[in-house]
Amino acid sequence: MEILYSPFHFFVFITLLSTAAELSRSADMITRFQPVRDNETLVSAGAKFQLGFFSAGNSSNRYVGIWFYNIPVKTVVWVANRDDPIKGLSGVLRITRGGNLVIVDGTGRAVWSTDTANVTSGTVAAQLLDSGNLVLTDESNNGSRNILWQSFDHPFDTLLAGMKLGWDLRIGLNRYLTSWRNSDDPSTGDITYKVELKGLPQKFLRRNASVIERSGPWEGIQFSGLPLNPNAIIKPEFVNTAKESYYTYQLNNNSNITRAVLNYSGTLQRWLWDNNTHWTVIHELPNDHCDEYAKCGPNAVCTIGDAPICSCLTGYTTRSPQEWAMNSWSSGCVKKKPLNCPKGEGFKKLKGVKVPDMLSYWVNLSTSLDGCRAKCLKNCTCTAYSNADIANKGSGCLLWYGDLLDIRKLVQPNHNQNVFIRVMASDIGNYKWKLWLVAPVIAASLSLAMLLLICFWRRRTKKRLGKTSEVQAGSGDNLELPTLDLEVITKATNSFSSLNKIGEGGFGPVYKGLMSDGVQIAVKRLSQNSRQGCDEFKNEVLLIVRLQHRNLVKLLGCCINGEERMLVYEYMPNGSLDSLIFGNRGGNCLVWRRRFNIIVGVARGLLYLHRDSRLRIIHRDLKASNVLLDSEMNPKISDFGMARACGGDQSGEQTTRVVGTYGYMPPEYAIDGIFSTKSDVFSFGVLVLEIISGRRNKEFHHHDHNFNLLGHVSFYSKILLRVLTLLK
């Protein structure tokens, strides 16, 4: 039989052959015969990350990068050829015969390479992992694969879970973050974030050589400037051995998507992908003015909440009172008088602070604290001492010579970390002889006080247990809260008709109802699939029934029938605040005077919860959708399912179960689970910005940056402050 060949048959053959080759390639692998061209991508096995060519911002330059695969907003976490982009779409990422992973342009010029040693084996391959790490490997004789190079060893501006920030001392590898040049240019910027090993390891945020923020030294358990608290999102770790010294973190919940990003503006931000819709900033460095390096100058301590925030150490006075009077503290403090060295001086304990920077120091990990004190006293230039390692009840010695720089008071004091400042004996006070006189009196008084407290506590506990059992038994009379029959509520809501449904929250659906006496009500019905449960239901009942204020929603009654749990509130004709300020009708009815009145009303309600109610209440979920408006547009705070009550002498608590809404949470609550009345004040501040701007905090976008509304205001406030400072 005669076989006919034609150009058409040859074209079909070549097409099928190339298609088969493409299909045979693993979606997450590059080999010598399977490169990645500009129009192709790799996707990790679990569809977490994607690799390919991209352009940054408005630029037409082409880069090879890695970004999140399952996020609609392209979020680049690593760039290979950041300083040598490709012009046009001719770029190829491939593996050479020598085993190098390279990027070549249309002329064949290599613009980037892994620069690995020559590997003659034909089994070299690059794979994109679900961690976001691109690894170049070679197959060994036993069939396992050896890592020749990995992108995690060459970070960009982003730190992902499992990445290492710091040193591999065996090969001298230093892994650190470097910012973009600007939003259109990923080339090497001016901002760096590094672990530095001078003395004890510290993390430094710098602009070129100038320090922006310092973590404080690693002290065996934590960095001196960071509080030791359980973290709701990540589990941080620092490894410090003779071979390695690095910081890393893992996710507490693998379903969370988070990243730490170094911005070209000079901040380090932790972002969380929120509700599969947008990125939310949950932490930022510098976090406050006291995080700014050497804010108060030498020999001074910075304390957030004090006015002014800077104060001189004991035994020191301001170097320039005129500058301090103008809130310019960089000149710092000097000794009031020279020390009477080597006798006639002692030490003043400074508790709960970030220890000074190690400008001139001596460190020894085997010297005891007593030995540390003795060594400091022998040297007239020694100004302070401390433990070098606070693990295992403290050990090691750290001495400072000369000025003490960058000390701040911590919001959450560290475990056993104290700094002992060298001062004159007159600054300590001659109190030792008095101690022997008053010690017996103090001991007896304390014993009596403890006995009285125990008796009071036992009596109060019995009363509380009695009340609790009554509540659990369903006694509505003790709470002075009417209970309504299910039939009455069913009739009022037309059998929970969809036409009566006016909203949906974490608790469940909300229905409008009309009682037989003509009173309009709002019914919150606990859903079987609710994120909240019976605990939140009881919590809301027990708290709000005791609260009476014109700016808090009024609870009319409740219904408990079998599996049904319902709360009955006064009906708010104008609905929730978010439907007005973010909806289509907000601009017509929310004039500036009315917006102002709403802000004042919410503030009054919050003040009542924090100061004037019988129990100090922390709401924990203050947001626009939880502010309701009555017929006269008076605001009323609602939804107390997440609220917590504190005693009169308590200002806050800590929890490992973070609840609420990202975008309204302060960083210390979102990350560390620490909440207080300040948490509500933070949420109130975000709410005020939303009321004024008519924009949601977490959905705000600006072409100049990636900040949310809060970050946007903070960013431009800092710029304005700098301009005013220069003008001044």
Known catalytic residues are 621
Amino acid at 578: D
d(CA 392, CA 413) in angstroms, rounded, equals: 18
Q: Which helix (H) or strand (E) holds 712?
A: helix 709-727
What sign results for the dihedral spanned by CA atoms 362, 365, 367, 373? Answer: positive
**Residue 609: phi, psi to the nearest 5?**
-60, -40
d(CA 354, CA 224) in angstroms, rounded, equals: 5
3-state DSSP of 607-671: HHHHHHCCCEEECCCCCHHHEEECCCCCEEECCCCCCEEECCCCCEEECCCCCCCCCCCCHHHHH
Place of tokens 């030294």: 217
Burial class (CB in 10 A: 0-12, 13-18, 19+), 639: buried
For residue 514, what are the β-bridge partners?
A: 520
Place of tokens 């030995």: 371
Q: Give helix then strand counts, H and E, for the chain.
A: 14, 46
Give the pair of three-digit tokens for residue 583: 């909806």
Give the pair of three-digit tokens for residue 231: 């973290």
**Between 592-607 and 677-693, two packed helices, what is the crossing angle to 10 degrees?**
170
Question: Rounded to the nearest 5 degrees, what angle is found at the Cα of 625, between the Cα atoms of 624 and 629?
Answer: 85
Provide Rg for the chain, Cα atoms: 32
Give the pair of three-digit tokens for residue 291: 């995080």
Inter-CA distances, 152 with 141, 176, 396, 679, Å: 26, 10, 33, 36
Residue 522's nearest CA partner among 509, 510, 506, 530 is: 510
Residue 615's nearest CA partner among 668, 678, 544 is: 544
For residue 137, what are the β-bridge partners?
A: 125, 147
For the chain, the distance separating the N- and C-terminal CA atoms, rounded to the nearest angstrom, is 98
Contact 690, 697 (CB under 8 A): yes
Question: Which segments within 495-643 are labelled E, that is strand?
Answer: 501-504, 509-514, 520-525, 555-561, 564-570, 616-618, 627-629, 635-637
Largest CA distance in the chain: 122
- 557 contacts: CB under 8 Å, gap ≥ 6: 481, 482, 483, 484, 567, 568
Give the pair of three-digit tokens for residue 48: 């977490």
Q: Which helix (H) or strand (E) holds 720?
A: helix 709-727
Place of tokens 């693993």: 26
d(CA 81, CA 112) in angstroms, rounded, equals: 6
Burial class (CB in 10 A: 0-12, 13-18, 19+), 541: buried
- 716 contacts: CB under 8 Å, gap ≥ 6: none
**DSSP letters for 244-271:** EEEEEEEESSTT--EEEEE-TTS-EEEE
